[in-house]
Structures are given as structure tokens and as C-alpha cells.
Amino acid sequence: MSAPTEAAPAAAPRTAAPVPQAPRRRRRISPTGAAATVSAVVLALLWLLPLVWAVLTSLKPEAETTAVPIRWLPVEPTVEAYRLVIARGDIQQWLVNSTVISVLVTALTLVMCAMAAYAFSRTSFRGRNALLLLFIAGIMVPPQVLIVPLFDQMRLLGMVDTYWGVALPQVVAPVMIFILKRFFDAIPRDYLEAAHLDGAGHLRVLTSVVLPMSGPILAAVGIFTFVQAWNNFLWPFVATTDPALMTVPVGLGTVQGAYGIQYAQQMAAAVLGAAPLIAVFMVFQRQIVRGVTDAGLK
Amino acid sequence: MTAPPTAGRASRSDTGGTSATGSEPRRARRADLAGPALVLPFALLFVLFLLWPLAAGLWTSFTDRSLVGTAPSFVGLDNWAEMAADPMVWRSLWTTLLFTLLTTPPLVAVALLMAVLTQRAVRVGWFLRFSFFSPFLLPVAVVSLIWVWIYQPGFGMLNGALTGLGLPEVNWLGDEGTVLLSIAITTVWWTVGFNYLLYLAALQGIPSQVYEAASLDGAGAWQRFRRITLPLLNRTTAIVVLLQMVASLKLFDQAYLMTNGSGGPDYAARPIIGYIFDSGFTNLRIGYSSAISYLFFAVIIAVSALQFWLFTRKENTA
């Protein structure tokens, strides 16, 4: 549904008023449009500079990285740094861990928050509003406040250094319930009434009527949750001590020292750690942009 | 099956549907069970991983509990009194506030600039969105690795550029006076993309006829920006500023990683969460650490309450 709605405003004037369109279009592009384009591209290149510098460093032999004065391009480009980092094997393990944990967090968030959102939106039970208020209040609790007692509790539950221990606390994001609830609220009642008259229970209505109609918002919540889980640092950092269970941010953060002053290797590891989400972004830019704005603006 | 999603989105302002079922007596009892059953899984996690640690933290703040063994004993308000008199608490809280003051204005202004330029630019939209937003997708450890390398004295990119221009080197992360500023610069680069997307979405919501009418009346580009764009973005700006303040107040990850967990020279870059972390996990004093956590919580609540008030007001007027 994204493509047609976005194309509509751009295409409409072109077909509606073809004759006066031509001169106005040309005037709009030339002065401010061109200036904006040039300054935007300059700013964009500046913004990419740190990433370019990291990639260029990763392609240098170690001896070249510390040359003074600095040299931008590698004289003898090499992938030796990547070979060494991959040979260590850590980063592959962290990528696997990050994937497992982020998928776990995203799947659980979607299932549990969709169920709760449906219950708040379409069922009535005693204490519903009080519970809703409690969850609203929960949004205001910053996860950082809970870190110390949560770690204490995880030791009690024996969940330190487990995937579940890292993942479960991240599922408690009540704000996602409200994003979904608002969308469910807006679904015309007729659709659900019809299903209920056909004898469908609430679970049936949720899975076969509400969820199929909620693709875009589920994608938005899912994408936002996944990116947050993938990049979360503090809790996974506290909850894991075993390097074999670390996520990418924690692993790269704690073994910074292990690469020592091998800057090419440090940057190779950084590039490998950054690559998955950047690659996903290049393919799904439109969906991710929408997901972040939808979930971000609530 | 294909059309409905549009209906859901289009009628966002429609407030109906909150009290949906229960009108039919036959289904009333089943609905009574279905609602709680559907909420139960999330509610369990909410209790287990939010309410419990929240309550435990408050209780712990009245004890001398340590991370290593030994039964804790109740010490009343000792931790709270110690906190009030501990200069490091106030120093780290100040560091957090200073960081918030340093980062919020550029993170809002630069995001707006980027969004306006993207909106105006021709044919490079994909490239601009990629450049401005992709740093936001980097894990904090990657950001820290890259920027510690950029700030590197001697052969880092930034000092290399400075000496190339004939300027003196700056010991970015090694100097008490610049370490927090350096972390702020990194943070602006890293996270501006999020605010940028929020502004971009808001700009796309402004109908182009408004601008065309203004152009016909002879308004220049700057006037159109000042008299049309900025006022129409007021609400978005309010949201962005508040979200950004709360985000900046939660500074920890990049400050910890870019100073190797040391807090920087003379703790000049240790935020309040850094002090919570050090008290709990380095000094092993969970009781004291919990008390500071609650102080931080109070600060966040004050800002969040403001934010929540704004959101609910928006919903009521919509």
C-alpha cells in the first residue's frame, strides 16, 4: 500500500495541468532546488566521511595505518585485516547471538503486544482500564534504572549468561501495545462483528481478521524492535559474562582491547559488525524509514 | 482482504471502537475470560521484569546490600543521606545535564536542516536518506571503535586534518575539557538520523499547495521556511525536543566505551548512569547504587511527565 499512496501527490498535478506545469517546474528546480541539492550532497558526504575512513583504514596493512601525515587511500590495499578478524571467529559467534536474541525479542514482542493490544482494544473485562494505566506508567520507567536490581534478580533465577536472560527483559516495552492498540481501535467494527456472528472467538478474530489487516503497523513495530534489540548495549553487557553468548555490540565493546593497537583489524571488525543492518537498510530502506517514524512518533 | 489496511490508517483520528464488544449477552462471559487471557503473557513479563526489579530496587536502596554474598541489613535512609552528600553524584548528574544541553540543540537543528534539504533536493533522496540515517543503525560499539580511531592523537583523521591545515592537535578524548564535547559530537553524528526521519515525515505531511500559494504571493525561500515550514512543524519540534532530551539524559553506552569504562580524565565524561554502574558493578554496593538509580528515575519522570502530558493533549485535540 506504500507505493501508490506516495506516488499519488507527485503524479496528480502532472496529469491534471500539463500546460502551466512545464515552466513552473523548471523554475522550481533551478535556483533553490539546485542550491539545496548541492548543499545536501556536501553535507551527506561529510556525514559518510567517518564510515569511509573506517572502511579505508580496514583495507590498509597495519604499518600504513599509523603513518604521519595521514594518508587517505591505502597504498597497498589488502583484506588481511578481515582475514585475521574472521580467523579469530568471535565476530561470527556474536552475529549469531545477536540474530538469535533480536529475533527472539521481536517475535515475542509482536505476539505478546498484539495479544494485549487486542484485549485492550476489543474486549472488556474488570480491571481493564486500571491495567492499561499501569502499563502506561511502565513506559516511563527507563530500563537503565532497573539494571542493577534486574541483574540481582537474574542471578536468583539462574538466568545470567542465557539467551532468555538477555532477551526477556527487552520484551517489556509497553509502548508497543499502545501503537498497536491505536491501529486496532481504528479498524471498522463491522469487520469484527461479521466474524463474531460467524461464530469466531476472540483468538480467531485476532489471527484471521485483525492481524492480516495490520501488516504495515506490525512491520513498523517489528522493525523498530529488531533494530533496538540488535543495538542494545547496557543490558546484554550486564547480563553476559561468557564471550560465547555476547551480542555484537557487547563483544566488540569488551574485546576492543583484544585487537590492541591493530587499527586495521579494529576497523575491519567494526565494518563487519555494522554490515548486516546497513545491508538490510539498503534493501528495505522504505520500510525501515516508515517503521522508525511510525514507532518513533507513536 | 486487500483494502482494509487503508481504512485502518485513514481513520486514525476516529476515536470510536474502544468499547467494541460486550453488547451481546451471549458472548459477555466468554469475553470476560478472553481479555485477561490475552493480556496475561505480557502482564507476566511486566510483573517479572519491570515491577519486581522496580520494587526490589527501592527496597534495596534502604539496605547495605552488596553484590557479593553477605546478608544485607536494613540501614534506613543511610544510602540516601550519603547520596545527598556525595559530590560524585552531583558531578555525574551535572555531566549528564551538560551533555543534554550540548547535544539537544544540534540534534534538533541539524535534523531539521537535513530534512528540509532532502525535501528540496532533486533526484538524490535515496542517497541523502542513506547518508543521514545509516549511522543510527550502527551498534554503539562500532560507533565507538570508529570515533576513538578518528580522535586518535597523532595519526587519527581529525588531528591529521587539523595539522594539515596548520592548526595544533587536540587531545580529544584525553583532555578533561574536550572529552565530553567529543562524545557529544560523536552522538550527534550517530543519532541525528532518527530526528531527521521524524522531521522528514512531518515535512511530507505539509501540502505543497501551501508553498505554491506563498510563492505566488511573492514569498522567497527563506520567508516560506520561516513563515510556513517552521510554524507548521511546531508540534513535531516539541516532540523531537522532548524525545531527544530523554534520550540524552540516558547517556551511558558511548561515554563508557569511548573512555574504556574509565569515565574519562578526572571522570569528566562519567554520566549519572555511569556512576550507578560503577557503584553497583565495580564497587559492588547494590544498595547505594539503587538509591542513585531512583534519583535518576526522578529526573527522567519529571521530563517524561511533561512529554506524556504533551502526547495526551495531542490525542484529545486530534
Q: Which residues of B touch A273 (CB under 8 A)?
A: 139, 141-142
Domain A89-254 has CATH 1.10.3720.10: yes
More confident residue, B142 or A34: B142
Is residue B42 situated within a structural domain? no
Say if B80 falls within a structural domain: no
Q: What are phi and psi of B152, to 5 degrees?
A: -50, 125
Q: Is the distance from CB of A62 to CB of B154 less than 8 angstroms?
A: no
Q: Which of B224, B233, B145 is closest to B190 using CA atoms?
A: B145
> Do the domain assignments include residue B27?
no
- Residue from the list B20, B37, B39 with its beta carbon closest to the beta carbon of A189: B20
Distance (Å) from the C-alpha of residue B252 to the closest C-alpha of chain A? Answer: 8
CA distance A127 to A123: 12
Beta bridge partners of B285: B66
Average pLDDT (B32-58) is 93
Residue B301 maps to a domain: yes
Among A2, A59, A73, A123, the residue to mutate for chain B (most B Cβ within 10 A):
A123
Q: Which A residues 4-43 touch B at CB under 8 Å?
A: 9, 29, 31-34, 36-37, 39-41, 43
- Whole-structure pTM over 0.90, yes or no? no
- Domain assignment present for residue B50? The answer is no
Chain A residue numbers with beta carbons less than 8 Å from the beta carbon of B6 are 1
- The alpha-carbon gap from A224 to the nearest alpha carbon of chain B, in Å, equals 11
Are the C-beta atoms of A218 and A236 separated by less than 8 Å?
no
Mutate to test the interface with B, among A55, A144, A150, A196 (most CBs of B within 10 A): A144
User: How far is the alpha carbon of B308 from chain A, nearest alpha carbon, in Å?
Assistant: 9
CA distance A103 to A120: 25
CA A154 to chain centre: 26
Name the percent of chain B in helix, strand, coil, to the closest 5.
75, 0, 25
Q: How far apart are CA B277 and CA B264, in angstroms?
A: 15
Per-residue pLDDT tens over the stretch B235-268: 889 889 888 998 999 999 999 999 988 899 999 9
Whether residue B49 lies inside any domain: the answer is no
State the residue for C-alpha cell 500539463: A18
CB contact under 8 A, B49 and A169: yes
Q: Say yes or no for a CB contact (<8 Å) between A153 and B56.
A: yes
Map grid coordinates 567517518 to a residue.
Answer: A50
Segments making up each domain of chain A, as ranges: 20-82, 89-254
Nearest to A189 among B17, B280, B311 (CB): B17
Distance from CA of B184 to the nearest CA of A (A): 15
CATH code, domain with B204: 1.10.3720.10
B286: containing domain: 89-317
B178 versus A70: the higher-pLDDT residue is B178
**Amino acid type, A243:** P
Q: What is the DSSP letter of B152?
A: -
A116 part of contact set with chain B, CB < 8 Å = yes
ipTM of the complex: 0.84
Tell me whether residues A53 and B126 touch, CB distance under 8 A.
no
A51:B135 CB<8 A? yes
Q: Per-10-residue mean pLDDT for chain A, 298 residues long? A: 34 38 48 84 95 94 83 89 90 94 96 95 90 90 92 91 95 92 89 82 87 89 90 94 91 73 88 90 83 70
User: Exposure of A156 by Cβ count < 10 A (0-12 exposed, 13-18 middle, 19+ buried)?
Assistant: exposed
Rounded to a whole number of angstroms, the distance from the CA of B20 to the nearest CA of chain A is 5
Chain B hits for A226, Cβ within 8 Å:
none
Chain B interface test: which of A2, A66, A110, A145 (most B C-beta within 10 Å):
A145
Interhelix angle A128-139/B286-317, rounded to 10 degrees, is 120
Q: Give the chain A residue whose CA is nearest to the CA of B277.
A: A148
Q: Which residues in chain B touch residue A135, judged by CB atoms under 8 angstroms apart?
A: 46
Maximum CA pair distance of chain B? Answer: 84
- Residues sharing a CB contact under 8 Å with residue B242, sequence separation 6 or more, in sequence order: B303, B306, B307, B310
Q: Does B65 reside within a domain?
A: no
Q: How many domains does chain B have?
A: 1
pLDDT in tens, B196-241: 999 998 998 888 888 888 888 887 878 888 888 888 898 889 889 8
pLDDT at B275 over 80: yes
Contact B96, B246 (CB under 8 A): no
- Chain A residues close to B9, C-beta within 8 Å: 183, 186, 216
Neighbours of B245 (CB within 10 A): 21
Check residue B46 and give its pLDDT: 96
Cell of B146: 570508529
The Cα diameter of chain A in Å comes to 78
Report the 10 Å Cβ neighbour count for B152: 20
Which of A281-290, B199-208, B271-280, B305-314 comes out lowest in average pLDDT? Answer: B305-314
**pLDDT band of B9, cuts 50, 70, 90:** very low
Q: Residue window 173-192, chain A: list those with CB within 8 Å of chain B.
A: 174, 177, 182-189, 191-192
Comparing B8 with B100, the larger pLDDT belongs to: B100
User: For residue A9, what pLDDT is reported?
Assistant: 36
Closest CA to A36 of B109, B116, B121: B121
